[in-house]
């Protein structure tokens, strides 16, 4: 179950992962979930958190300019000379 939970996280958007993590935190803070479920969602929450952190850390700046052909269709990219 944990493997399954992990595999779908890898493809999640930051937004979706963050939203689910927020849900899990709210659930755990309410203390309403049974222990078994609490542990399971906590593990998923940890995986979501790792995914979010990875997305945040991997962010890097890259600036490109599209090059256009005569008829105005894109042919590729080139660095933007500011």
Nearest partner of 50 among 29, 23, 20, judged by Cα: 20
The residue written with tokens 């992990």 in the block is: 6
- Give yes or no for residue 2 binding another protein (CB under 8 A): no
Collect all residues with Cβ–Cβ distance below 8 Å to 12 and sequence separation of at least 6.
20, 48, 51
Minimum Å gap between C-beta 75 and another protein is: 9
Look at residues 23, 55, 53 and name the one whose alpha carbon lies nearest to residue 41.
Answer: 23
Closer by beta carbon to another protein, 7 or else 76: 76
Binds another protein (CB under 8 A): choice among 3, 11, 35, 70? 35
The residue ranges that bind another protein (CB under 8 A) are 13-15, 18, 21-22, 24-25, 27-29, 31, 33, 35, 38-39, 42, 45-46, 49, 52-53, 55-57, 59-66, 68, 72-74, 76-77, 80, 82
């Amino acid at each position: 179950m944990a493997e399954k939970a992990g595999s779908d996280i890898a493809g999640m958007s930051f937004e979706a992962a963050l939203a689910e993590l927020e849900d899990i935190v709210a659930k755990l803070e309410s203390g309403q979930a049974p222990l078994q479920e609490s542990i399971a969602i906590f593990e998923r929450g940890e995986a979501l958190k790792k995914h979010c952190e990875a997305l945040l850390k991997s962010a890097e700046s890259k600036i490109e300019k599209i090059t256009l052909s005569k008829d105005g269709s894109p042919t590729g990219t080139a660095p933007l000379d500011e």
